[in-house]
């Protein structure tokens, strides 16, 4: 089956710890994205990558880091510097390198930091 997988589905961490969220796709898409979803707000872009070994900050990159060592993988690290990390995190990918292309989403990871 082609698609985007995110793991784990639920993640719990103590304040002050870094945590890494996994995102893998086997759609052969060039571009990958990380969003954060909070109640009552639209999806907000954290980071995106259009090609391997390159990525760009989105609207709310502070406190997050990413890597893109392989086309299939785009892990997101939520660092202790992120002031309000509890949220639903969504990974997406798209066929083209333009950010206008329709995006396909993974199932999401719900992160709770206490």
Partner 1 sequence: QKEVEQDPGPLSVPEGAIVSLNCTYSNSAFQYFMWYRQYSRKGPELLMYTYSSGNKEDGRFTAQVDKSSKYISLFIRDSQPSDSATYLCAMSANDMRFGAGTRLTVKP
Q: Which residues bind partner 1 (CB under 8 A)?
A: 4, 6, 40-43, 45, 90, 92, 99-100, 102-108, 110
Instruction: Identify the H or E element spanning 96.
Output: none
Could you give the dihedral angle defined by the CA atoms of residues 49, 51, 52 and 54, in that order, rounded to the nearest 10 degrees? -60
Do the Cβ atoms of 99 and 45 come closer than 8 Å? Answer: no
| Nearest of 57, 52, 56 to residue 69 by alpha carbon | 52
Beta-bridge partner residues of 100: none
CB of 101 to partner 1, least distance (A): 8
Please, what is the minimum distance in Å from the beta carbon of residue 90 to partner 1?
6
Nearer to partner 1, 71 or 99 (CB): 99
Q: Please, which residue, 4 or 111, has the CB nearer to partner 1?
A: 4
Question: For residues 3 and 18, which CB has a smaller minimum distance to partner 1 in the complex?
Answer: 3
């Amino acid at each position: 089956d082609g698609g985007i997988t995110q793991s784990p589905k639920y993640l719990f961490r103590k304040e002050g710890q870094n945590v890494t969220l996994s995102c893998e796709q086997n759609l052969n898409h060039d571009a990958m994205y990380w969003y954060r979803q909070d109640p009552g707000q639209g999806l907000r872009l954290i980071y995106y990558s259009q090609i391997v070994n390159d990525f760009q900050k989105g609207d709310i990159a502070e406190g997050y880091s990413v890597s893109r060592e392989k086309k299939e993988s785009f892990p997101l690290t939520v660092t202790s510097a992120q002031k309000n990390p509890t949220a639903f995190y969504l990974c997406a990918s798209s066929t083209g390198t333009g950010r206008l292309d329709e995006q396909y989403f993974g199932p999401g990871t719900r992160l709770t930091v206490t």
